[in-house]
């Protein structure tokens, strides 16, 4: 102030009045303390002075820092202004803490095409168990995707260079071939070892309870487990014999069961109905987790639950194309081809053994024929026999019967003329073939044919077979050779004679011979010149229309050569064909 005037009023106050060069009038007072009598100077009082701060008018005010709240805020109370800055979190807008800063600072920096983000120390983690940094590591034996892998593609494993899933025997090569325990697959699926396809079990705890008024009517049901992706598991077969005669919304049967883990759902079939409705077949489907179904007189679709293919299924092939299951051919000399076996499981306790069914497909509704079912074995090699085919039923247990073999031709259609036939055929090119039933030990077996009058029987030893084979007969020499001695008490029915040339050198004239019991040895096969029998690849077959030869204590059937062959060497072998009664 340039100058000031002083004034003491009647209240003992000294007032200092500012001059006009101040922006606002200033008043400063000398105050006399009434207690001590001392003078003190008051604060400057200005017309534009702050008289309130955030609502507080306290003469003395302070600032403080806090962390409460979920956002920055200021709390003013009792002369203190508190600035609250909470720690930032997923739900709080606030201050970045030191720990958070460290976390963010350690994050991977922005990626560039040529950046290397693995430190030398980190490289020892992959492919090195020593704990010592060995520099760059070769990752070629680990998960490696193709250079042109598309987004979201699963990395493939190149079996041709040894790349596969670590600690497994599974590979997928660049030709999309999957190998299981096989690092060099040759097929779309190429595995070594056993494979198992399992079906789903039947529901347990299946039961039928009568709702409303019960009765005395039987209803049987099947609860079929549905397999995810299609197909059927096993089915439970609950039933009731106390159902109402007529099922409806008031009187109905409630079917319950326990859920099967992994099931996709369940089909409910009515398999027997002695009441109303009388229809059978599928009556409903429920989702997995549902364990109850009410039969309120629902209509069945008239199908048979036994016709569905339940259990585990393997579907191969494509419509119109054949599907093949076969074992591999041998690739080296003196090695057998692979074998193929189809087995069913053994029964346990009172259970039956598993069934094995081979079915050919049904023909279409137009003029389609049913499919063929061929069971055949391989051809023999140059010196080998054709493969044998055996159709054999199982032996009975201690107190059980032997298994049956059924060969059942197809039933005639509604507008058809004939049922199917059963044919036992000889080969097209044959030397001789027989139907051998010599192992039938009882005196007779009876066969009954529907729609035919009478009974047909096969007697013991009543099928043609080789009764004897005699070799080394010199065809150049006129002589008699014993072929077969008829057992005492038996009758031999001779049906054929096979004469085979076993050695032949320079044959110019074939032998003439006969077979029989009488002195001329010609009452079974008359004396005949064996025209054309001059090479070891030739044979002579003589069919006999059931000549009966009764053996009374060692009757002998003989071969008599009437005219010897003209040759350097010639030997023959004779098979006598027939059966005993």
Residue 123: pLDDT band (50, 70, 90) is very low
482-532 confidence digits (pLDDT tens)? 999 888 777 888 888 889 999 999 999 999 999 888 766 778 888 889 988
pLDDT mean over 377-398: 72
pLDDT mean over 426-445: 48
Phi-psi category of 385—alpha, beta or left, where left has phi over 0 and alpha has psi -120 to 50? beta
pLDDT mean over 429-451: 48
**Phi, psi of 398, rounded to the nearest 5 degrees:** -55, -45
The model's pTM: 0.42
* Residue that wins the pLDDT comparison between 12 and 214: 214
pLDDT mean over 276-299: 95
Q: Which of 2-6, 239-243, 402-406 has the lowest mean pLDDT?
A: 2-6
* Residue that wins the pLDDT comparison between 166 and 474: 474
347-358 confidence digits (pLDDT tens)? 777 777 777 777
Model pLDDT, residue 494: 83
Provide DSSP, 198-219: --PPPPEEEEEEEESS--SEEE
Model pLDDT, residue 146: 47
The burial class, CB within 10 Å (0-12 / 13-18 / 19+), for 557 is buried
Instruction: List the domain boundaries for the chain.
Output: 5-41, 156-195, 204-307, 465-580
Q: Is 266's pLDDT higher than 90?
A: yes
* Residue that wins the pLDDT comparison between 435 and 297: 297
Model pLDDT, residue 152: 42
425 to 32, 39, 446, 554, 575: CA distances (angstroms): 147, 147, 22, 35, 21
126-141 confidence digits (pLDDT tens)? 445 555 555 555 555 4
CATH no. of 465-580: 2.60.120
Q: Is 461's pLDDT higher than 90?
A: no
Model pLDDT, residue 425: 55
Report which of 456, 462, 455, 457 is spatially closest to residue 437, judged by C-alpha positions. Answer: 462
CB 316 within 8 A of CB 323: yes
Q: Is 211's pLDDT higher than 70?
A: yes
């Amino acid at each position: 102030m340039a100058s000031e005037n002083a004034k003491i009023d009647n209240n003992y106050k000294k007032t200092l009045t500012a001059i006009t060069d101040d922006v606002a009038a200033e008043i400063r007072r000398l105050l006399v303390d009434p207690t001590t009598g001392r003078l003190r100077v008051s604060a400057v009082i200005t017309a534009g002075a702050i008289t309130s701060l955030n609502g507080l008018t306290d003469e003395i005010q302070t600032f403080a820092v806090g962390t409460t709240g979920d956002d920055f805020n200021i709390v003013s109370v009792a002369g203190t202004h508190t600035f609250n800055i909470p720690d930032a979190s997923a739900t709080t807008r606030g201050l970045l803490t030191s720990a958070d800063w460290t976390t963010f600072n350690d994050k991977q920096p922005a990626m560039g095409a040529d950046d290397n983000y693995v430190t030398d120390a980190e490289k020892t983690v992959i492919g090195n168990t020593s704990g010592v940094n060995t520099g760059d590591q070769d990752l070629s034996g680990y998960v490696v995707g193709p250079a042109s892998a598309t987004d979201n593609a699963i990395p493939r494993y190149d079996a041709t260079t040894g790349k596969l899933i670590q600690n497994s025997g599974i590979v997928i090569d660049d030709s999309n071939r999957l190998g299981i325990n096989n690092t060099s697959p040759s097929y779309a699926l190429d595995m070594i070892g056993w494979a198992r396809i399992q079906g789903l079990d039947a529901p347990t705890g299946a039961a039928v309870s009568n709702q409303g008024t019960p009765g005395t009517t039987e209803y049987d049901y099947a609860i079929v487990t549905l397999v995810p992706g299609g197909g059927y598991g096993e089915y439970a077969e609950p039933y009731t014999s106390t159902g109402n005669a007529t099922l409806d919304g008031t009187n109905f049967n409630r079917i319950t069961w326990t859920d099967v883990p992994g099931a996709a759902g369940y089909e409910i079939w009515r398999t027997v109905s002695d009441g109303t409705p009388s229809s059978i077949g599928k009556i409903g489907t429920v989702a997995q987790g549902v364990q109850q179904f009410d039969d309120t007189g629902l209509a069945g679709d008239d199908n048979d639950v036994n016709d569905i293919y339940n259990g585990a299924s393997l579907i191969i092939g494509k419509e119109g194309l054949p599907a093949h299951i076969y074992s591999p051919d041998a690739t080296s000399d003196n090695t057998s081809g692979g074998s193929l076996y189809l087995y069913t499981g053994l029964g346990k306790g009172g259970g039956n053994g598993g069934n094995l069914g081979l079915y050919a497909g049904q023909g279409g509704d137009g003029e389609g024929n049913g499919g063929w079912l061929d069971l055949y074995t391989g051809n023999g090699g140059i010196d080998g026999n054709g493969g044998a085919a055996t159709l054999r039923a199982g032996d009975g247990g201690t107190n059980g019967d032997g298994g049956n073999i059924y060969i059942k031709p197809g039933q005639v259609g509604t507008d058809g003329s004939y049922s199917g036939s059963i044919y036992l055929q000889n080969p097209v090119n044959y030397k001789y073939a027989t139907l051998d039933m010599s192992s039938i030990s009882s005196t007779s077996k009876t066969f009954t044919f529907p729609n035919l009058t009478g009974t047909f029987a096969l007697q013991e030893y009543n099928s043609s077979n080789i009764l004897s084979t005699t070799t080394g007969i010199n065809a150049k020499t006129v002589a008699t050779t014993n072929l077969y001695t008829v057992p005492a008490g038996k009758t031999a029915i001779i049906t054929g004679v096979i004469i085979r040339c076993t050695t032949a050198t320079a044959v110019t004239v074939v032998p003439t011979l006969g077979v029989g019991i009488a002195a001329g040895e010609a009452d079974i096969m008359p004396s005949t010149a064996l025209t054309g029998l001059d090479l070891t690849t030739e044979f002579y077959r003589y069919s006999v229309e059931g000549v009966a030869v009764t053996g009374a204590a060692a009757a002998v059937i003989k071969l008599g050569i009437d005219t010897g062959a003209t040759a350097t060497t010639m030997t023959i072998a004779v098979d006598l064909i027939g059966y005993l009664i």
